[in-house]
Structure 1
Amino acid sequence: MRRNPTLQETLVRTCRQQSGDLAFADSSGAEITFGEALTKSLFLTGRLKSIWRDQDQVGILLPPSVGGVLVNWAALLMGKIPVNLNYTLSKEGILSCIEQCGITDVVVSGKLMDRLGLELPVRVHVLEDLVKDPSLFEKLRAGFLARATSVESLLRRLGGAAADTDDLATIIFSSGSTGQPKGVMLSHANVISNVHQVGDVYHFVPEDRMLGVLPFFHSFGFMATIAGPAVCGFACIFHFNPMDAKVIGSLAEKYGVTIVISTPTFLQFYVRGVKPEEFAALRLVVVGAEKLPARVADSFVDKFGIRPFEAFGCTECSPGVALNGPEFNRVGSIGKVVRDLEAKIVHPETGEELPDGQAGLLQVKGPNVMRGYLGLREKTEAVLRDGWYNTGDIVRRDEDGFLWIEGRLSRFSKIGGEMVPHGNVEEVLNDLAGEGERLFLVVGVPDDKKGEQLVVLHTVDDDRLGTIIEKLNEASIPNLWKPKAGQFLRVVEIPQLGSGKVDLKAAQRIAESVVG
């Protein structure tokens, strides 16, 4: 019986079938067809062979770009597992990802590294240098492999033939409740099934052109703009800065972008900076990562004549879980669960399954649910039992099957689409204060611009607080974890319950009464 194809098999077939169609373009001026994308990826396999020889999991630190896709495709063709490193993490966070995967070599963008000012204790290979001066033999080899060999023979030569759909396609790091990056292991079957699950709702066709501004280290960026073109044959148009409305508008008009997958935060930049005629070809706008405020959706409709659909996902689900779409949409909800994905809502403490209308923990089971966390058996078992993944979200389902998020079980804020753990921010602040007692408590409150903002309740005097904030700004943690001075709120005491535990509800009320 014929087994299901892997991503590398799928991308080879798509590139050959649509060899003359536009595949990728970006703001640097790069523009290639599917046939050229395959040939260039094959050229890269030759250059990367000696670099990645002894590594199964390979490091990539590249922005959304044509070159970024080609390096990922080359890794897949070679049977490697691409690990797109999150360059918004602190240096310690990036090093943790590298160490967990045993990465010794990282392919990087020279411009990005210069901008980040980042030095890594591994061998760094600049992509701009890797592709210089191809020899005649290299060109002939890539051209021959792209056109004259069977898919099986091609992958056998490169090392990608032995892969099975249950093997890993990528590892995407997600910050968990401890703030320590966790490697989410996604198989070929996970990613490909989610492309089809999402595509069934949004009807992807080869004529589509998707705006690619989500980074590859996000599961939606990987699924939609690396795997999506390979599976569905649509083109992706990349820009490295999702807030650069001027360039994005120009690219959208030039290439006739039909699909935008983004976040509510980024949509606000487009409303302010993109001209209506530049988005004239749009047929679909999907947003996730944070709640879609009605004000943002309405302003987008007013300017561009198309309503964004709110979706919900998580890295552990490749990521699509629930979607609104052209055939069904309920404003304020996160939509309906994608096909082939079972969902149940259970009591957070007893695990008892709850009926529609009652809020509880959302758990899901299906082909897009991860294999587990890399090297973290206990953490995997804590969230994945008998195939059911615990999303950690408190959700209710209405009588028509739409899901509504009521809150979060764990204490995170989603700021501009990024997860910020309250506990870690508190730990850093209390460490900087140098005392054992709790002096700081972090809560999240709604923010029109970024979805949420942090508010820090504290009990220290102004002079001491100023010193702590100065130290915080120098700390090796992500910038999103660093509240500004105006986000600190002095209280007489940190609210506590009779049991001695922190009274989070009271803290939330205090913060919202002041900030709101």
Structure 2
Amino acid sequence: MLQTVLIIAGILASWAAFAAWLSHRQGISLHQALLYAPLKLAFRIDDSSLRAAQTPGPVIYAISHQSRLDPALMLSVLPNDTLHILDEPSARAMWLEPWRELARTIAFKAQHVFVNRRLTRRLKGNGRLAVYFPFDAEPDVKSFRLYRAVAKIAVSADAKVVPIYIRGSSHLPGAYEPAAKTPRQLLPKLKIMALPARTIGELVDEAGPIGVTTSNALFDRVAEARFFSQGRPKTIFHAVRSAALLYGAGRVIAEDVAGDKLTYRALFAKSRMLSGKLVEIGTSGDIVGLLLPNAAQSMAIFLALQSAGRVVAMMGSGVGPLDLVRDGTIRFVVTSRSHVEKARLGEDIAAITAAGGRVVYVEDLEASVTAAERVAGWFAWRARRLPRQADDAAVVLFKQTPDGQRGVVLSHANLIANAAQIEARLVLSRSDTILSVLPLHTALGLTVGLILPLMKGVRALAYPSPLHMRQIPQVAATRRPTILFATDALLSAYGKAAQTSDFESLRLIVSGGERLRVATRQLWADRFGKTIMEGYGLTEASPVVAVNSITHGRPGTVGRLLPGMRMRLEPIEGFEQGGRLQISGPNIAKRYLGTDEPIAGNGWFDTGDIVSVDREGYLTALGRAGRLAAADGSTISLAQVEEAAEAVWPETVHAAIALKSATGGDRIVLVTTEPEADRAVLARQWKRLGFEAGALPATVLSVRSMPTTANGRVDYAKLAELAEEALGLSSAA
């Protein structure tokens, strides 16, 4: 009996001592610390950012409410003079009674607007409010009214806002997200992320000279807490391994139309086996070319190269300059014989070999793996081969420039950040399946077709070529994916080739890589009842910069900036509307291949794109600085010429280029697939629709099909050659 009493006394004494330490460390009352202590131990809570919560009032704590445990945590750690505005279930729950005694609470329905003078007066007296926002990354219209209400109160009281996000809370047994979408863990590790206090006015100012509405400024700040809660990224290998442990090693995460399926464990086991062979190719940090199609096995090879400490240069037919092989920058290229045969890459392989590169075939690597290595791979599937750091180069992607292809070096931190930014803006869950059609050697294809699904537990259904216009709708009809990322050209082709029921399972369609035409948007709305969310990005940004979403969507724009990013506009002489977009953020690449000069000088990267931004933060793409023409003393955006042509002939594809004339000015040429294209007809409609006279193309060329790149985008380089040949000119602008 005495021994039991002593044990109990020892436990209570330890509890009290730990609570006293927490009280001193966190600046909370002993009563709060006594209730917080068991939670802190059980969930191994990282609360290092909570100093932001101790800011003097008036202050509003904007809490992303993900589980029933969140109010208990917040009542334990926030100053005890905070008024907590709880949802009705939390206000009535019997088990929360000990925590509700820690501070004053009131019940409230999140869908109701509650701007009133009492709350404003309480804040003005250096008061504190804790408001629990709906847990959705994209709240519905009714729930978003809460952001407007809180922003109005914050402005009226000149109160600071501290957003709080509890990483891991959505995996608790009491989480609000359905278990079918988010895996449950009995005692997940939690991290409380509290961002530094800012007033709404400061948030609006930080958005840039264009500004943003107060409610969107608050919404974006809450989204940033979600994004930054991931902490400092490690490597792609670590990020995917963490996802495997969270979502389950036995979860099927990658599959393809050939029938291959890989669970997380199988993915890592295969990469472990092959990485043992790949470490013998070159040394750590070497750039190794990867020439493989969209397939489940390709994902394993990519992960194997990451495990082996290699920088992966994503290559395709004609993508990945041979000069890099010739000068020794790329000494090895990994591919497969089946892919070389099916994609007819014999000439590419011969050119690589002739340039001095060594071609490594996956079939040979697999054949060299011994039975013992296979067994070891399955047992040691979580182990990497060679260490790498977050800021080390992970991938090289090639983008087309007027001077040829340019390599963009992206770090592990860049790619992981962009995947987390996308997740903080779009609603993704483990019940989703992404139909991955974009080639892996494109920035969007790599991020949304491989890195994002592997990191976030979203199944990836890989298809080898985006140009199979009739087969892809059939795949969608039978395999029923829920998410599709594609370009305008691809979406237009799929929409025309598909049956009306083929895309029934899709809940999220995102367009990127080029401007989404009105005709494509209307086609999907009329035939399938689906809304396409347009986005914007570039290779140097890993690549997504902005995107429309369900709550924040505006047709004709490319959406709003992703969390963690900032922008500014530089005026362009002769161009009155908008400006040249400059951006900063953790997803911006560090450098180009072959140079040590940083891409983002003084922390800002010049995109070369011309955009306008409205008062709610929506970006409208107006064209590229490199795609401007000087005509009749005006600066003309060729992208806007294309939009004008689309208004005249909405069912066909148009591309505008500028060719240097004999007088030294620009001659605008419109190339179109409209068979009846006639400049006289275009001129009459042009004037009637009110387009700028100086932007009227000098020449209209009709073609049977528009030259495109591997992912379906207009190939302007080939287009210029075609126009020069047809007109007998030279030097396209």
Could you tell me the TM-score, scaled by structure 2's length?
A: 0.54
The verdict on how the C-alpha distance between 1:503 and 1:490 changes in structure 2, with shifts beyond 3 A counting, is closer
List per-residue Cα deviations over 1:75-95 (Å, max 9, x = no partner).
111221111113244xxx631
* Residue from 439, 460, 463 that aligns with 1:239: 463
What is the alpha-carbon distance in structure 1 between the residues aligned to residue 447 and residue 728 of structure 2?
48
Q: Within 5 Å, give how 1:385-400 maps onto structure 2.
A: 385-400=601-616
1:66 equivalent to 2:296? Answer yes
* Deviation of the 1:130 alpha carbon: 2.7
Preserved CA contact (<8 Å) 1:57 1:80: yes
* Residue from 380, 385, 399 that aligns with 1:145: 380
| SS of 2:564 mapped into structure 1 | coil
| SS of 2:317 mapped into structure 1 | coil
Higher relative contact order (CA 8 A, sep 6+): 1
The RMSD of aligned alpha carbons is: 3.6
Q: Within 5 Å, give how 1:119-158 maps onto structure 2.
A: 119=350, 120-121=352-353, 122-132=357-367, 134-146=369-381, 154-155=383-384, 158=385
Match of 1:102 in 2: 329
What is the alpha-carbon distance in structure 2 between the residues aligned to residue 492 and residue 47 of structure 1?
54
Q: Which amino acid aligns with 2:235?
A: T
Preserved CA contact (<8 Å) 2:540 2:588: yes
* Deviation of the 1:272 alpha carbon: 2.2
The verdict on how the C-alpha distance between 1:486 and 1:214 changes in structure 2, with shifts beyond 3 A counting, is closer
The verdict on how the C-alpha distance between 1:384 and 1:421 changes in structure 2, with shifts beyond 3 A counting, is farther
Match of 2:594 in 1: 375
Match of 2:624 in 1: 408
What is the alpha-carbon distance in structure 2 between the residues aligned to residue 247 and residue 503 of structure 1?
37
> In terms of mean alpha carbon deviation, does 54-63 or 215-224 score higher?
54-63
Preserved CA contact (<8 Å) 2:278 2:308: no
Match of 2:681 in 1: none
The verdict on how the C-alpha distance between 1:289 and 1:503 changes in structure 2, with shifts beyond 3 A counting, is closer
> In terms of mean alpha carbon deviation, does 482-491 or 229-238 score higher?
482-491
The verdict on how the C-alpha distance between 1:390 and 1:403 changes in structure 2, with shifts beyond 3 A counting, is same
* Residue from 394, 403, 419 that aligns with 1:178: 403
Preserved CA contact (<8 Å) 2:390 2:413: yes
Match of 2:635 in 1: none
What is the alpha-carbon distance in structure 2 between the residues aligned to residue 29 and residue 492 of structure 1?
51
Q: Which amino acid aligns with 2:611?
A: V
| SS of 1:8 mapped into structure 2 | helix
Match of 2:718 in 1: 482
Preserved CA contact (<8 Å) 2:285 2:309: no
What is the alpha-carbon distance in structure 2 between the residues aligned to residue 218 and residue 493 of structure 1?
32
* Residue from 251, 260, 264 that aligns with 2:488: 264
Match of 1:32 in 2: 262
Match of 2:278 in 1: 48
Could you tell me the TM-score, scaled by structure 1's length?
A: 0.76
Preserved CA contact (<8 Å) 1:286 1:311: yes
* Deviation of the 1:229 alpha carbon: 2.3
Preserved CA contact (<8 Å) 2:425 2:563: no
Preserved CA contact (<8 Å) 1:342 1:364: yes
Match of 1:165 in 2: 390
The verdict on how the C-alpha distance between 1:329 and 1:444 changes in structure 2, with shifts beyond 3 A counting, is farther
Preserved CA contact (<8 Å) 2:294 2:463: yes
What is the alpha-carbon distance in structure 1 between the residues aligned to residue 665 and residue 260 of structure 2?
49
Q: Aligned residues, how many?
A: 437
Q: Within 5 Å, give how 1:107-506 maps onto structure 2.
A: 107-114=334-341, 115-117=344-346, 118=348, 119=350, 120-121=352-353, 122-132=357-367, 134-146=369-381, 154-155=383-384, 158-159=385-386, 161=387, 163-179=388-404, 181-348=405-572, 358-377=577-596, 380=597, 384-411=600-627, 445=670, 447=672, 481-483=717-719, 487=723
* Deviation of the 1:37 alpha carbon: 1.0
The verdict on how the C-alpha distance between 1:328 and 1:22 changes in structure 2, with shifts beyond 3 A counting, is same
* Deviation of the 1:439 alpha carbon: 11
| SS of 2:524 mapped into structure 1 | helix
List per-residue Cα deviations over 1:205-262 (Å, max 9, x = no partner).
1221101111111111111122112310111111122121333233323332010000
What is the alpha-carbon distance in structure 1 between the residues aligned to residue 656 and residue 315 of structure 2?
19
* Deviation of the 1:123 alpha carbon: 1.2
| SS of 2:408 mapped into structure 1 | strand
The verdict on how the C-alpha distance between 1:264 and 1:25 changes in structure 2, with shifts beyond 3 A counting, is same
List per-residue Cα deviations over 1:298-356 (Å, max 9, x = no partner).
11122222111110000001111111111111111111111110001112369xxx9xx
> In terms of mean alpha carbon deviation, does 396-405 or 312-321 score higher?
396-405
What is the alpha-carbon distance in structure 1 between the residues aligned to residue 274 and residue 332 of structure 2?
15
Match of 1:468 in 2: none
What is the alpha-carbon distance in structure 2 between the residues aligned to residue 278 and residue 21 of structure 1?
26
* Deviation of the 1:493 alpha carbon: 8.9
Preserved CA contact (<8 Å) 1:335 1:403: yes
Preserved CA contact (<8 Å) 2:433 2:461: yes
Preserved CA contact (<8 Å) 1:358 1:397: no
Unpaired runs of at least 5, structure 1: 431-436, 450-455, 459-477, 495-501, 505-516
* Residue from 296, 305, 311 that aligns with 1:81: 311
| SS of 2:568 mapped into structure 1 | strand
What is the alpha-carbon distance in structure 2 between the residues aligned to residue 105 and residue 111 of structure 1?
18
What is the alpha-carbon distance in structure 2 between the residues aligned to residue 503 and residue 8 of structure 1?
44
Preserved CA contact (<8 Å) 1:209 1:234: yes
What is the alpha-carbon distance in structure 1 between the residues aligned to residue 664 and residue 614 of structure 2?
41
* Deviation of the 1:358 alpha carbon: 4.5
| SS of 1:394 mapped into structure 2 | strand
Match of 2:197 in 1: none
What is the alpha-carbon distance in structure 1 between the residues aligned to residue 345 and residue 715 of structure 2?
13
What is the alpha-carbon distance in structure 1 between the residues aligned to residue 367 and residue 237 of structure 2?
25
Unpaired runs of at least 5, structure 2: 1-47, 49-230, 629-637, 643-654, 675-696, 700-713
What is the alpha-carbon distance in structure 1 between the residues aligned to residue 609 and residue 573 of structure 2?
14
| SS of 1:364 mapped into structure 2 | strand
* Deviation of the 1:113 alpha carbon: 2.6
What is the alpha-carbon distance in structure 2 between the residues aligned to residue 441 and residue 98 of structure 1?
37
**Percent identity among equivalent residues?**
26
Q: Which amino acid aligns with 1:94?
A: P
